[in-house]
Chain A
Amino acid sequence: MTTESDTLVHPLAKYMRTDRLPWIYCPGCSIGIVTGMVARAIENLGIDFNKVVIVSGIGCTGRVSGYFKTGTFHTTHGRPIAFAEGVKIANPELEVIVVSGDGDIAAIGGNHLIHACRRNIDITVVCLNNFNYGMTGGQFGPTTEHERYTQTSPRPIGNIEWPFNLVKLAASSGATFVARWTAVQVRRATKSIEKAIAKRGFSFVEIVGACPTSYGRSNRLGDGVEMHRHLLKVADIQNGLPPHEAELEYDSRIVCGEFVDIDKPEYTEVLKKAQEKARSEAR
């Protein structure tokens, strides 16, 4: 006799290393949702999955690449964008997607982020911002709000630093596609990730998510369900708003939408032209 679980297969399972399940994430974490968004975006675009490369760095979100069943690479901390640039430049036929966390992308890897934006290399970065270093137990990071509590910004003082606004950072550094959604806006976020992948240029999509185990507990934000409900409540959709107005205030207002979608010469295309010119002059 066959049971229901034998016959029912998730339509996106073909993209995943199901032999690695159950995965490492806590109940209530947003990473599963974001992984689903990326898989669905690939499915919707109908691109050859063999040509997709998924790269991530260190941390909870850094483990995402390992669950995808294609060419995947788990770099050292902060380096997925640098690695991805090498892949894309060496073989521009590949569709290169970086999925990593706020600490990985914006703190230790912040320099690589801004310079990749500036170069305008055709890669897509999906950054899950959960406001803290989750894997190491919840320390403050580059997106932790002022006076929030973490293991390294304890009560009664909280965080004495100020956060990056990643949308503003990516936009002012030269990214050609910039969007922000929360983890509960799955359809809209998936659509933006599709656009980001299809874009010929550097694309940055921030997904504001929940880390109930560390950040949520330290700041008494409730469990996973409660945190995601909150995200839905404070999400303020403002498509096309100038990126410098895309504010993020966790308690009251998270501006969501697509803020940048512009065209600029893409690095590997410019490089190709340079090669043709150099070859014809060398002859």
Chain B
Amino acid sequence: MTRYEIRIAGFGGQGIVTMAVILGETAALYDGKFVVQTQSYGPEARGGASKGEVVMDDEEEIDYPKVQEPDVFIAMSRAAYLSYKDGLKENGVLIVDEDLVEIEGDLPRGVRVYKIPATRIADKEVGTKQATNVVMLGAFSVITKAVSIEGLKDRIVQRWPRFAETNLKALELGMKAGERALTQAS
């Protein structure tokens, strides 16, 4: 894979930056890719705009560290969707939390849209909204195959040893949701 860019955006408290960090860790430490992860955030600890980005490459060290034209955009809020939808690459991948983001307006040509009820799954099936980001990671990994599942599991267990079980369940449920979304899209 040559330069591959992922943008995740939503609001503070959704674990946006953590998602980007786990993706980055998995790709860099487990999958052996060149990776840079960056983020931007406002002064609010909760509720403000939040954005995490990952750039990965199999062959070449990453020069410019930020996303230019993302291959994948994960939108976790309407504001984030509206801010960044036009920046998506043509034929790129858009993943949205369907309870938070409605597809409105034009999208770049050929964009494939995948709707994942990540917050709902986390709340109802995992039992904690805090797992929303891990549900989304599961869906993302199935839809894009950009990072290895084993790697994700490894990072999740290392990061939250006390909550490994909950988070691995969230990951599995997210993967299933991703598979459903793939079938629906094709």
Is A–B contact present in the complex under a CB 8 A cutoff? no
Residues of B within 8 A of A (CB): none
